[in-house]
Every structure is written in structure tokens, then in C-alpha cells.
Amino acid sequence: MATKKVDVMETKAAEKAETKKAETAKKAEAAKKVVTEKVVEPAKKAAAKTAEVAKKATTEAKKTVAKVTEKKAKVVLQFAGKEINTEDIVAAAKKAYASDNKAAVKELTVYVKPEDNAAYYVVNGTVTGKVEL
């Protein structure tokens, strides 16, 4: 009979230990969930945001460097006692195009013909026109 009592006590102790173990596992799982929700997920979001901001900053820096390092050349056409700045010709061609068209200038080709005292332009490969020098 003493053995039966000991077996019952051991069984109860084992059940109690299993219950404690299950409770501890539940608490650990709950703590893990809280840490994930409160720490890990916000940290992931912050890291993603930081990476996005860094990427934008890098892109802007590259654009700025490109603008700073871009060298401008000035071309002046001299013909028959006249001096004509090519930048002025390009500006006049864009202005003439814009007066008749609403589409943006994506590509502009200008052909200067001093003997006609004119510059002919082609915008976006289709629209043509003429400006006086």
C-alpha cells in the first residue's frame, strides 16, 4: 500500500511538473510574441525606412555630383560679320516650338544654315520649324 501511495504521489508530482512546464512554455511564447510585436517588427520597419531614405539620399547626391561636374561649352557662330550664340538659337527654337505645341521637348536637333540666315529645328523627331538668326 505504501508503494501505491508513493506511485500516486509521484504521478501527482509529475503532473504538477508537466503543468508548470506547460505554463512556463505559454509564458515564454507570450513573452516572445510581445518582444516580436514591440521590438522586432518596429525595428524591421525602421531599418526599411532607413534604407529607403539612404537610397533617396544617394540618388540625390549622384544627381548633384552630375550637375556640378557637368561642364558647359559655349559655341559662338561667326559668319559674315555676325556673332550668333548657339544657346540663343536653341532657346529660340524651343520658344518657337512651344508657341505652337504643348508636348514636351524630349529631343531637339538644330541645323544652322548661315547662308539662309536661319536655323531649322526638328523636335521629338517629327515637328519641324525655322527660326531667323
| % pLDDT > 90, the chain | 7
pTM above 0.75, yes or no: no
From 23-32, 35-44, 89-98, 122-131, the region with the lowest mean pLDDT: 35-44
| Residues 53/61, Cβ–Cβ less than 8 Å | no
| Residues 58/66, Cβ–Cβ less than 8 Å | no
Radius of gyration of the chain (CA): 40
User: Does the pLDDT of residue 78 top 60, yes or no?
Assistant: yes
More confident of the two residues 69 and 56: 56
The predicted structure's pLDDT at residue 65: 72
Nearest to 84 by CA among 96, 76, 92, 93: 76
